[in-house]
Structure 1
Amino acid sequence: MTIDFKHDILAPVAADFAAMDTFINEGISSKVGLVMSVSKHVVEAGGKRMRPIMCLLAAQACGETNLLKTQRLAAVIEMLHTATLVHDDVVDESNLRRGRPTANATWNNQTAVLVGDFLIARAFDLLVDLNDMVLLKEFSTGTCEIAEGEVLQLQAQHQPDTTEQTYLSIIHGKTSRLFELATEGAAILAGKPEYRSALKQYAGHFGNAFQIIDDILDYTSDAETLGKNIGDDLMEGKPTLPLISALQNTSGEEHQIIRKSIATGGLTELDRVIEIVQTCGALDYCLERAKQETQAALTALEVLPESASRQALHNLAMLALDRVQ
């Protein structure tokens, strides 16, 4: 079956999703003009806003009927996500994000870093208004772990001996952790602690699958589809799962080419690396791992009572996987 984003995922929370936008716009208002312009630029460059949608769906799946507080939480999540993207683009020296110029390319690094700081601070400012100490603690800890994931990624740069285990630690921090905050936060706010663990597991496995798929797409799609330049991760010497897997599947000259590409970065051997990754079985392995993570996410959901929003969370995980099937 073909999953339609609006109909099969967004529909149960469409009204709340629209209302959340106003909270985001209120959130980025500032006395300083430049802060507003940059925040507006990056928030509008947002993609499908999966994290806030997941937050709203999780609250509904917990049986919450009035999602006013969850709308605020969803806005907080989107602002945290946006802040991490702005900082990422500076660290990676990226010029494009989803086909649009990044904040650092449009303004400069200093402005982008400081506005990213503002968005994180503002997100916590809004979070305090929800007046839930357990929620605040979970977000404080989680945000630390997101930052640690990014530093871990930096540490692994140009390290060809990075293991799959380290890769999973990196993506848990930089991708999955915010998904976990979105769903677990919704359960905390809805007063349904009994669903916290299941929703956190769903989101964690979903995030892992999502990132693995992103890393596969780096080798199988074009810049138009990807919204960023092909080979960006390779150029920065990031040991992503397709490369880690390719190192295990190759020997001799091919093995050396992959090792050298991670160690030195750069794009001199880009075509050759893409060819090796595509032919040595690395992508098949990555797809298998993405399927396993997706299955684990779906299994975790089964703890929740059946509902349209639980089904929408199920559909969201399947849609993410569809990008590479």
Structure 2
Amino acid sequence: MTIDFKQDILAPVAQDFATMDTFINEGITSKVALVMAVSKHVVEAGGKRMRPIMCLLAAKACGAEDLERQRKLAAIIEMLHTATLVHDDVVDESGLRRGRPTANATWNNQTAVLVGDFLISRAFDLLVDLDDMTLLKDFSTGTCEIAEGEVLQLQAQHQPETTEQTYLDIIHGKTSRLFELATEGAAILSGTPQYREPLRLFAGHFGNAFQIIDDILDYTSDAETLGKNIGDDLMEGKPTLPLISALKNTTGEEHDVVRRSIATGGTADLDQVIAIVNSSGALDYCRQRA
């Protein structure tokens, strides 16, 4: 089954999605020219913007007709997501994202970190304008959990002993939590709190699947399609699910190669690791898990 993104996913909220950019442009406005330039660079980097789309679709599912407040929330979510990507690129020392130079590569780490901080602060400034304490509390707690997920990932780097459960805890924080906030926030603003928990559960599972598939692509795609270098996860010593599964399914030399690659990082054994991940059944397991 082939899914057409524009026709099958975006179409129901296409007009609201287009209008959302007005709020994003408002959010990145600054009297400091450098802040504006960097913010514009990272916001316009592309991507499907699945998190704000999820917010708008959830609002529709809740029966909302006028989505003005949800459009603002969708913009807030995209700004928060963009800020986390900017910070991620600094932590990972990444030079490329979505086929474009990262903010830290274009300017420097200090500028990227501070503009990431600006985007988070401005997102909460816009969030306050929505005048809903339940929403504000949810996002305050949620952004803390996102940061905790990133720290968990940092702790797991170069650790071949990382378990699948630890991996799931990491991706829930760094990826799925913002999907959950998007749908929960839509339910809150739509005045349908009874849908908040079902939407959160759906979004959490969607976010996990989204991240697992993204991690698979590091071993199956190419740099042009990904918009970043192949093997970046291995380079950074990140024990993602394909590697965790490959370790479970191998012994001897193959097991040692994967384990050593996680422990040391780098891409010296990338071709061999890709072959092992493919032949060990790790990718099939990951797809089933997703």
TM range (shorter): over 0.9
User: 1:104 touches 1:112 (CA, 8 Å); kept in 2?
Assistant: yes
Write the distance in 1 (CA, Å) between the matches of 2:278 and 2:266. 19
DSSP-derived class of the 2:173 partner: helix
DSSP-derived class of the 1:75 partner: helix
Q: Which residue of 1 aligns with 2:61?
A: 61
Q: Deviations over 1:110-140 (max 9, x none)?
A: 0000000000000000000000000000000
Opposite residue 237 of structure 2, the aligned amino acid is: G
Deviation at 1:268, TM superposition (A): 1.1
DSSP-derived class of the 1:63 partner: coil
Deviation at 1:213, TM superposition (A): 0.3
Opposite residue 129 of structure 1, the aligned amino acid is: D
Q: Which residue of 1 aligns with 2:27?
A: 27
**Alignment TM-score, normalising by the size of structure 1:** 0.88
Q: Deviations over 1:199-239 (max 9, x none)?
A: 00111000000000011111111111111100101011000
Q: Which residue of 1 aligns with 2:109?
A: 109
Matches within 5 A, 1:261-280: 261-280=261-280
DSSP-derived class of the 2:179 partner: helix
Write the distance in 2 (CA, Å) between the matches of 1:42 and 1:19. 19
Write the distance in 2 (CA, Å) between the matches of 1:66 and 1:264. 53
DSSP-derived class of the 2:42 partner: helix
Q: Which residue of 2 aligns with 1:240?
A: 240
Matches within 5 A, 1:159-308: 159-290=159-290
Matches within 5 A, 1:143-162: 143-162=143-162
Q: Deviations over 1:32-78 (max 9, x none)?
A: 00000000000000301111111011001100000000010000000
DSSP-derived class of the 2:111 partner: helix
Gaps of 5+ in 2: none
Deviation at 1:18, TM superposition (A): 1.0
Q: Which residue of 2 aligns with 1:315?
A: none
Opposite residue 186 of structure 1, the aligned amino acid is: A
Gaps of 5+ in 1: 291-325
Worse overlay, 165-174 or 8-17? 8-17
User: 1:168 touches 1:208 (CA, 8 Å); kept in 2?
Assistant: yes
Opposite residue 140 of structure 1, the aligned amino acid is: S
Write the distance in 1 (CA, Å) between the matches of 2:17 and 2:188. 19
User: 1:96 touches 1:228 (CA, 8 Å); kept in 2?
Assistant: yes
Write the distance in 2 (CA, Å) between the matches of 1:30 and 1:11. 32
Write the distance in 1 (CA, Å) between the matches of 2:238 and 2:9. 32
Q: Which residue of 2 aligns with 1:132?
A: 132
User: 1:46 touches 1:82 (CA, 8 Å); kept in 2?
Assistant: no
Bigger relative contact order, structure 1 or 2, given CA contacts below 8 A and separation 6+? 1
Q: How many percent of aligned residue pairs carry the same amino acid?
A: 84
Opposite residue 126 of structure 2, the aligned amino acid is: L
Deviation at 1:2, TM superposition (A): 2.5
Residues matched between the structures, number: 290
DSSP-derived class of the 2:161 partner: coil
Q: Which residue of 1 aligns with 2:36?
A: 36
Worse overlay, 123-132 or 45-54? 45-54
Worse overlay, 11-20 or 32-41? 11-20
Q: Which residue of 2 aligns with 1:318?
A: none
Q: Which residue of 2 aligns with 1:77?
A: 77
Q: Which residue of 1 aligns with 2:90?
A: 90
**Alignment TM-score, normalising by the size of structure 2:** 0.99
User: 1:157 touches 1:238 (CA, 8 Å); kept in 2?
Assistant: yes
